[in-house]
Amino acid sequence: MSSRFVTTLLAVSIFSFMLGMNAWADNEFYEFETAAQERQFNTLAGELRCPKCQNQTIADSDAPLAQDMRERVYQMIMEGKSNAEIIDFMKVRYGDFVHYRPPINKSTLILWLAPLAVIIIGALAVWFNVRHQRSASAELTPEEEARMDEMFAKTDKAEERDK
């Protein structure tokens, strides 16, 4: 065997081993007593946001903090805590931002009003744009009509001359 083949084979083997180890290390398994507990866990893991990743749920995040949060949610479910109790615990620990449906209060008011403001501003922009286009397509003044007739006459004469 050539040394190039052996080097390539070794690199592929190492890469495959590393992929397998990564998949094995990330695999978390939680054993539940009932299907309802598993549904509760999946629901909460989809509703809680990873404070480190910010735009991922704790179910989607690979961050160590998200792993710790999943573990804590699992423990609390096994203790018989309700969704509200678990969410309240996470809010106290990580703030309102940790829940994808934050409460309406002074600190989160912008989260609730910003989308509405964007929709209103967009609708006003479209309305003003359409209104401006309608007024721009108004009838021509007599001077503008005379100029346009003159330009068409010049164009017609140029076309006849080219024939």
Burial of residue 13 (number of CB atoms within 10 Å: 0-12, 13-18, 19+) = exposed
pTM: 0.53
Quick one: pLDDT at residue 25?
Answer: 41
Q: What CATH code would you report for 3-102?
A: 1.10.8.640
Better-scored residue on pLDDT, 137 or 82: 82
Domain coordinates in residue numbering, the chain? 3-102, 110-162
Q: Does the structure show a pLDDT above 90 at 90?
A: yes
